[in-house]
Chains A and B, each alone.
Chain A
Amino acid sequence: MAILETQELTYTYSAGTPFEKTAVDHVSLKIEEGQMVGVMGHTGSGKSTLIQHFNGLLQPTSGKVLLDGKDIWEDKTKIRNVRFQVGLVFQYPEYQIFEETVYKDIAFGPKNMGLDEAEIKRRVLATAHDIGLSEELMERSPFELSGGQKRRVAIAGVMAMEPKVLILDEPTAGLDPAGRDKILSHIKAYHERAKNTILIVSHSMEDIATFADKILVMSKGKLFCYDDTVNVFARAEEISQIGLDVPQITKVFGELKKRGLDFGKEVYTVGYARDLLLRRLKEREVQ
């Protein structure tokens, strides 16, 4: 069963004023449990507005958001529980850090859930481990840490609530390549351990290609497509028409195909490309 579902979700900013703008326009989609979904879209395509509906920070102008098959706005007083089940990490989350120690900041979410001390401790230490923060950092002030470490503290703060669905809005924005790979691999490891559903908004096609099972593409407030990674990158032409990019390696293989070297498969990661090429070379040697 789909864990998250939207039905004809529509959201209009400043309705009834000259500034009226429909940011999300009749979006219906189903996100299956346990998947890792990449969310793509141009600036202003409505992807940030869309993800803020998933945990009830925004209430739809019309349409529904279903979590586990239940409308999240059915009982307004229980909307906080939705936020514990659907964790949302904003862009540049390190700017939300406020506690004196790393431990306390990660524990803020679990504490709001009303868990007991022992459970809070278990969760904080487990997520810190998942995200690659060593235990001696726990009693340090988060403001003394490096940018990448702060980012990981903030992400851990949401992960520690152990949400069924974790949504990250550009978790790697503004980090150097090393910091980026580190965060992504930690998120991937966490996903494999916790077996939860993860949505990652990213501008980097290379990043999305390496981790995503499925890709959700937004364009001008509408759902452009939501499909398996292979199928999405197969539509490279259309995707570049709406102002998005495909991974560089996909472009290279597209050009090769045009010049008569067809591998018969969509290629979107460098590792896979290398395997294909090596195999092709070996076949030649045999001949």
Chain B
Amino acid sequence: MLKDITIGQYFPGNSLIHRLDPRFKIVITLIFIIMLFTGKSFLCLAIGAVYTVIAVLLSKIKPKMFWKSVKPLLPFLIITAVLNLLLVSTGDIVWEWKFIKIRSEAIDISVFMIVRIVLLIIGSSLLTYTTSPITLTDAIERLLSPLKKLKFPVHELAMMMSIALRFIPTLIEETDKIMSAQKARGAEIDSGSFMTRTRNMISILVPLFISAFRRADELATAMECRCYHGGEGRTRLRQLKSAPRDYIALAVTILFFGAVIAVSILTKK
């Protein structure tokens, strides 16, 4: 049950997308998101969709995996669609039943919203699917490094992110163990009434928090023993290097973005 969580899951591989510099990948993803939100017509959305499909194909990750990241957001998607269907009050009435009126424009907007959000999810999952969490935080640190001049603790932030990501699997395993131990003492976690289940959650949360604090404490000591003193003057094992392919990928993305802007300006008039 707990092992099905896929937040930030990374699928190792050696495709073109995997090999792109993570800094470029983050910037490209940001441009992609802005691109999706700039386009207001179906044509713009189609450009975004083509871009997404190409990227997914290049990544060589099974399309099924993307369904996994869309699935948990389905309720949210459905609610958005239904609200749009009911509340948009322009356009011709297509279907009517008592006080419910469905208008043509409402259908357009709902479909548009759903496609846009699905593309958004697929595009951003592509980033985490093809980039290991550690390289990702490295890249974020490098991208944010100009903020150091403003005394913003960039390195510390990146370190906290890496540590948090590193400990997600550990904590999941720990939770599993504590749950088994309490079940062995007859705690009802999967069965029983809502009240007993809630009360039994305490028997899992308390040990989990205690162990998380203990781990944090031990990690801090271990880091100090190895003379960790923040990012100042620290060198890296893995240097981030940009290659021509990174610039090409960026150029292609900007081209698509340009196309979207051009299409929206032209269609407006």
Contacts and interface: CB of A to CB of B under 8 A. Distances in A.
Interface in B171-194: 177-178, 180-188, 191
Contact of B182 (A52, A87, A96): A96
Q: Which among A52, A93, A95 has the greatest number of chain B C-beta atoms within 10 A?
A: A95
Given A98-B202, A98-B206, A98-B207, A80 B186 contact: yes
B203 to A, nearest CB: 5
B211 interface: yes
- Of the four ranges (under 10, 10 to 19, 20 to 34, 35 or more), the interface on chain A belongs to 20 to 34
A158 B188 contact: no
A60 interface: no
B183 A83 contact: yes
A112 to B, nearest CB: 3
A249 B181 CA distance: 36
Contact of B186 (A83, A90, A96, A143): A83
A14 to B, nearest CB: 9
Contacts of B206: 98
A150 B35 CA distance: 58
Interface in A245-273: none
B185 A109 contact: yes
A226 interface: no
B178 A96 contact: yes
Nearest to A97: B207
Contacts of A113: 186
Interface string A134-159: 00000000010000000000000110
Contacts of B182: 96
Residues of B contacting A: mostly:
helix
Nearest to A89: B184
Given A90-B180, A95-B178, A80 B185 contact: no
Interface residues of B, number: 18
Interface in A74-93: 77, 80, 83-84, 87-90, 93
A90 B202 contact: no
A77 B192 CA distance: 10
A250 B202 CA distance: 48
Nearest to A87: B184
B188 A96 contact: no
B188 A80 contact: yes
Given A157-B185, A158-B185, A108 B203 contact: yes
A115 to B, nearest CB: 11
Contacts of A157: 185
A109 B211 CA distance: 21
Contacts of A96: 178, 181-182, 185, 203, 207
A93 B207 CA distance: 11
Contacts of A95: 177-178, 181, 207, 210-211
B173 to A, nearest CB: 12
A90 B185 contact: no
B177 A112 contact: no
Nearest to B209: A98
A222 to B, nearest CB: 24
Contacts of A84: 186
Nearest to B174: A95
A52 B184 CA distance: 9
B181 A112 contact: no
Contact of A112 (B180, B185, B210): B185
Given A98-B206, A112-B188, A90 B183 contact: no
B181 A93 contact: yes
Interface in A54-112: 55, 57, 77, 80, 83-84, 87-90, 93, 95-98, 108-109, 112
Nearest to A90: B181
B207 A109 contact: no
A100 to B, nearest CB: 10
A82 to B, nearest CB: 10
B186 A109 contact: yes
Contacts of B185: 83, 96, 108-109, 112, 157-158, 161
Contacts of B202: 98
Given A90-B180, A93-B181, A161 B207 contact: no
Q: Which among B178, B183, B185, B186 has the greatest number of chain A C-beta atoms within 10 A?
A: B185
Given A89-B184, A95-B211, A97-B207, 16 more contacts: A52-B180, A77-B191, A83-B184, A84-B186, A90-B184, A95-B177, A95-B178, A96-B207, A98-B202, A98-B206, A108-B185, A108-B187, A109-B186, A143-B210, A158-B184, A158-B185
* Interface pairs A-B: 8 shortest CB-CB: A112-B186, A98-B206, A96-B181, A109-B185, A88-B184, A90-B181, A98-B203, A98-B207
Interface of B: 177-178, 180-188, 191, 202-203, 206-207, 210-211
17 contacts: A55-B184, A77-B191, A80-B186, A87-B184, A89-B184, A90-B180, A93-B181, A96-B182, A96-B185, A96-B203, A98-B202, A98-B203, A108-B203, A109-B185, A113-B186, A158-B184, A161-B186
